[in-house]
Structure 1
Amino acid sequence: MQLELLSERSTADPFAALEGLLIGPAHMVRRGDQARLSVVIPDQAGPVQWRVDALLSAFADAGFSGESARTPRGQTVVRSEFTPLLVPLATAWTRGAVKAPPADFTFDAAKLRLWAVASGHTVMHAVYQFHLDDRADTQVVRALRPLSVQVTAVGPRAGGPALRVSGQRRLRHLAALMGPAPAGADWPDHSLDSSRRQSASNGALRLTKGPAGTTPD
């Protein structure tokens, strides 16, 4: 199954992959026969430039341009141009005046990757978090099951609404689905690599120190 998912990621429709942004902090704005896609990067998501670069690249892959700006609250927003190309996506993801996933929404690796680009970040060692629209958590959890991605929902007190993936095995599986990390990215398996390097460093330090912290000859 993993090879199939990796193949899906490499051949996925770049326009369809944008649905991964709407699961998280993105929203759509309609203006006549055009629409705009905007992604406000969450405050908790850490460094933003790699996200800006990756989002603008995703927009270009889908056939339209974009720009980054600051919101009145000082957050970074990456937004597309107004384009008729986005009208079908806006229609599919709107219920009245509310953003909501289509009833038949499914995940693939490309959508998962863009969800991580928009909002995924390491919370602590072996815990990776995706920010989420709070009206979609049950449907998203269900849509993740075919990818064998197991998540835990967290509420606003824990930095949510969000879904977390915990544990080394689950994070390695998640990273394999998402593919190579963009330059400078916070990717699911990076905290594991960092931990291993720190453990190795601590072990080497213990080996080079003698009793009472002295260094042996």
Structure 2
Amino acid sequence: MRQLSFFSADALPPAIPDLGGLLACAGQVVRQDIGARISVLVAAEWRAHAIAELISAAGLVAEVTVTTEGNLSVRTALVAELLPLGSQWQRGAVKSVPVGWVPGPRALRAWALAAGSPENGGERFVLGMDPHAPDTYPALTAALSRAGITPTPIGVRGPNPGLRIAGPRRLAKLVDYLGAPPVAAPAADCWPSG
């Protein structure tokens, strides 16, 4: 049994700034005068429900829907509390990583829930990035490095860009940050084991 770390996402409840982890991947923010909404498309039902739980734990209302294209979407309500986060992650209408952003354990967990996947039987783990926001890739690489997990960018010119985390130390640190896999997750093929 793994001991709970003081730095694990399991150690504290999520907060609104942690939803930046959804924006690090393909999540989107929509801002209006009265508030902002964050949404993200995910590939599996367990991911949608785990993200909805994370949003609810941060004190916001979450909605899981199926889009007209058949994709699962998780989104927050349109609320004023998300305006600061939305402003930090946008430069005009373009997604932009906040200057100096360091993803904490709960933001990393949100990122992994939305777009994380193991490779090579768990020897590596990839955090997906937004294929429509290539200008964010260098900043996300630097942000993860500032968090103490130096990644390797992969697929930056293709449809599935990501940051690969490899090596026993880096994986162990990532596992420590992310905490336990969600209960409904098929753990063997979705969460790093470090």
Q: 1:27 and 2:28 equivalent?
A: yes
CA offsets 1:118-171 (integer angstroms, 9 cap, x no match) = 110123221211111322221122222243212111115766211111234432
Describe the shift of the 1:13–1:154 C-alpha distance in structure 2 as closer, same or farther (beyond 3 A). same
What are the superposed Cα offsets for residues 45-92 of structure 1, whole Å, 9 maximum, x if unpaired?
xxx122111111111122221211223332211111111111111111
Match of 1:17 in 2: 18
Q: Tell me what 1:82 maps to.
A: 78
Aligned pair count reads 183
1:206 is aligned to none
Amino acid at match of 1:27: Q
Task: Report runs of 4+ in structure 1 exceeding 3 Å deviation.
Answer: 156-159
Q: Distance in 2 between matches of 1:124 and 1:70?
A: 31
Indicate if the aligned counterparts of 1:122 and 1:128 stay in contact, CA closer than 8 A: yes
User: Do structure 1's residue 99 and structure 2's residue 59 form an aligned pair?
Assistant: no
Alignment of structure 1 residues 73-152 onto 2, 5 Å: 73-125=69-121, 126-133=123-130, 134-152=134-152
Compute the TM-score of the two structures, normalised by the length of structure 1: 0.75
- Structure 1 unaligned blocks of 5 or more: 193-217
Opposite residue 139 of structure 1, the aligned amino acid is A
Q: TM-score, normalised by structure 2?
A: 0.83
Query: Whose helix proportion is higher, 1 or 2?
Result: 1
| Gap regions ≥5 residues in structure 2 | none
Is the 1:128–1:164 Cα contact (8 Å) retained in structure 2?
A: yes
Letter in 2 for 1:88: P
User: 1:130 corresponds to which letter in structure 2?
Assistant: L
* Identity, % of aligned positions: 30
Inter-CA distance 55–175: structure 2 relative to 1 (3 Å threshold): same
- Distance in 1 between residues matched to 2:36 and 2:135, nearest whole Å: 22
The equivalent of 1:215 in structure 2 is: none
**CA contact under 8 A between 1:107 and 1:144: conserved in structure 2?**
yes
> Cα gap change, 1:13/1:58 in structure 2, threshold over 3 Å: closer, same or farther?
closer
Compared CA separation, residues 157 and 72, structure 1 to 2 (3 A)? farther
Kept in 2, the 8 Å contact 1:50–1:184? The answer is yes
